[in-house]
Structure formats: structure tokens, C-alpha cells
Amino acid sequence: MVQRRMPKPSEILPLLRPAPIRWDATERRLARAANIADLRTIARRRTPRAVFDYTDGAADGELSLSRSRNAYARVEFVPTVLRDVSEIDTSRTILGKRSALPFAFAPTGFTRMMHTEGESAVASVAQDVGIPFSLSTMGTTTIEQVVDVAPDVRRWFQLYLWRDRAHAKDLVQRAADAGYDTLMLTVDTPVGGARLRDVRNGLTIPPALSLRTFLDGARHPHWWFDMFTTDPLAFSNLQGTDGTVAQMINRVFDPALTMADVEWLRGTWPGTLMIKGIQAVADARRVVDAGADAVLLSNHGGRQLDRAPVPLELIAPTVAELKGEADVLVDTGITHGADIVAAIALGADAALVGRAYLYGLMAGGRRGVEKTVAILRGEIERTLALMGVTRIDDLRPEHVRLRPNG
């Protein structure tokens, strides 16, 4: 039988200490985020529906995105025990240079639409952390402005070889002059994917006021205030590109892009050339034979061809085909540090994350991007420790397997 007693005041008082008060609303929001899913939830509350859906959505039935995420859910790690894991090294050589973490920030369009701090916040966080930052052709900050806000960040430039080749060549030259060391040519966009959320939301650049957007905006006055009181939202590296997202994409994307363009770009660009959007081993071989230094296995975050191959499942056969002739990177579906660990173990040289940091940006601007990195770093370190691995470079295929049915 339990015998009860009256507790002493000295036993109760330590339990009554109030939690520290966080006066800063952004800090308070971010403190509650334990993972990327939490940042996504905050982002959904903080931004208009059309803006959130542009980031969160994919093409058609969004099967490419869901399958890519489900592939990571099929990962099973093979841990080893009784290893000293008191110190964990997460650094990784990415395209010839050391990075503090085994991932880079992927290129994203319309970034200042997510939060007015946009690419400036993302690039400055990348600089502080020591990882590469990728600027998109459809970014909302110029090639040169990134240098001004983050002069020491490692800079990559993502290129759409759009119909006006003269303008594309000008962008390439500007990137070279500004010290970008890697050019990332996107090749999975002969036409725009059917991004049905954007169509249903009537998303335009710059955002247009309608009854629907007005009513939605009434729930997000801070977002509209930021948009109206800062520089107008536009594609900083392009000219004459306003209208619906679908209209702009079809003006920029070139359905006539061929291997000859890759060869031309190889002869034009002096730095590292990466081909983004590889979805078949045979295509990886073709672009490497044409002079590419790296391939990025990607289905464009599920935003182009629906039912496209899953990038994670392409890593092993691509690595086996290329045999070290070119670096192999991967994106799409990455929402946890363990996803990055799995990709590296399967043979990828590095991963790129996009949506994850955009959720952070929408949730809290620059501090939200910092939170994204902190979450991913912690998950990577914890996963490695629990696997009995002290260095990200020590990961091998025997550390991981893909379960057939999740």
C-alpha cells in the first residue's frame, strides 16, 4: 500500500520556476520548432496560401514528390556499436572544396516572395555556416547583390539556357566576373510542369490583389506590409518577366535545348560545370562525356514531370556507371538530416536542400534559415553517432539498405 506524505516547500519551489519569457515573437515561434515539419507548419500559418503552396506544391498529382519522400522512409541504417563517437565530423569535400556540412543550399526562384529578406538571408547564413549557396536564374536578388551581402560565401549559379542565348551568355559572364565557381545548368525544363496549386491560386509575379488574395492577405498583414514597404518583387536577373508563373516559365524555358548546348557551355564556362535534372544513368554518362564535372540527380523537387524517377534510387547505379569521373549530387524529398546521411552512404558526394530552408525562411526570415541548419546539423550528428560513425566521409553502402516496402 502506498504511504502518502505532505511535500516540503523546499521540494515544491524548484518545480514552480517559470519558464523564461521570450519577448521576441520570431524567437518564440522558432523555439517551438523541433524539426523541419514544425517549420513547415509555422510557414503555412505565416504566409498567404498562394505563396506557401508555391513552395510546398509539386506537379500534377504530386506523385514524384511523395515517392521521393517515401524513398527516404524506406531507408534502414545498419549501426555498429561499441565505438567512440564523442566527436563527430560533418565536413565534406563538395566539388573540390571543403564544406562544413555535407549539403548545399539549392537554387530557388521567387525567394523574396517567401520572405522579404530572400536570398540575402540565405546566402549570409550559408557564409556563416560554411556551405555553398546556389542562386537561381529566377532569383529575386541579382548576381552582384549576393556578393555584396555575402562576399565570402561559396557561390554557385543555376542557369536556364533560355531562348535568348545572348542573354544567357551575359548571365554566365556576370557569374564568372562575380566569382561564382560553379555553373549549374538545369536540363529537365523543356516546358513547365503542371503546377496545379499555382494555377488554382492564380499566382502571379508580382502578386496581384484580387478579392481572394485580399481576404487571404487580411490574415497575413505582416507579409503584405513587408512586400509593399520593400523593393518591388521581380526577377532580378531577368527583364520583362511579369505575369502568371506558367507564362513566365514558358517564356524562359527552351524546348530546343540539346547536348550541343551542354558542349557549348563547357567551352564557355571556365569553372565547374554541373548538370541539374539528371533522371537516367545513360544521361549522366552522356553529359559527363560532353564535359560535365558533376551531375545532380533531381526531378526538380517533383515540380516538372510527375511520376519521374526517384533520385535516391538513382544514386548507386549512377555512381557505378561514372566510377569517379564526375561528382554525383542529389536533391528532392530531403526533410531530415538522416536523409542526407542515407544519400551519402549510398554513394552521393553531397545533397542539396531547398524546401527545408524555404520553410525556415517563411517561418522566421534569416533566423528561420539558421534554425533549419541547426536542425539538420543536429540530426546528422545524432544519426552518425547512433550508427557508430564519427566522420561523414566514413559512410559506406554497407551502412544502409532500402527496405522493399517501407
Active site residues: 300
Q: Which residues pair with 296 in a beta bridge?
A: 276, 329
Q: Which residues pair with 186 in a beta bridge?
A: 276
Phi and psi at residue 95, in whole multiples of 5°? 50, 45
Rounded (5°) CA angle 358-230-146: 55
The SS3 assignment for 209 reads coil
| DSSP code of residue 104 | E
Q: Are 224 and 217 in contact (CB under 8 A)?
A: yes
Residues 6+ apart with CB under 8 A from 228: none
Cell numbers standing for residue 149: 551581402
Q: Which residues pair with 103 in a beta bridge?
A: 351
Q: Are 190 and 254 in contact (CB under 8 A)?
A: yes
Rounded Cα gap, residues 196 and 363, in angstroms: 24
Q: Are 371 and 28 in contact (CB under 8 A)?
A: no
Cis omega (within 30 of 0) on the bond before 18? no
Q: Are 152 and 179 in contact (CB under 8 A)?
A: no
Cβ atoms within 10 A of the Cβ of 320, count? Answer: 10
Cell numbers standing for residue 71: 524513398
State how far the alpha carbon of 207 is from the alpha carbons of 54, 114, 212, 247, 336, in Å.
12, 12, 12, 14, 31
Residue type, 391: R
Q: Are 146 and 155 in contact (CB under 8 A)?
A: yes
Residue keyed to cell 560532353: 290
Q: Are 262 and 270 in contact (CB under 8 A)?
A: no
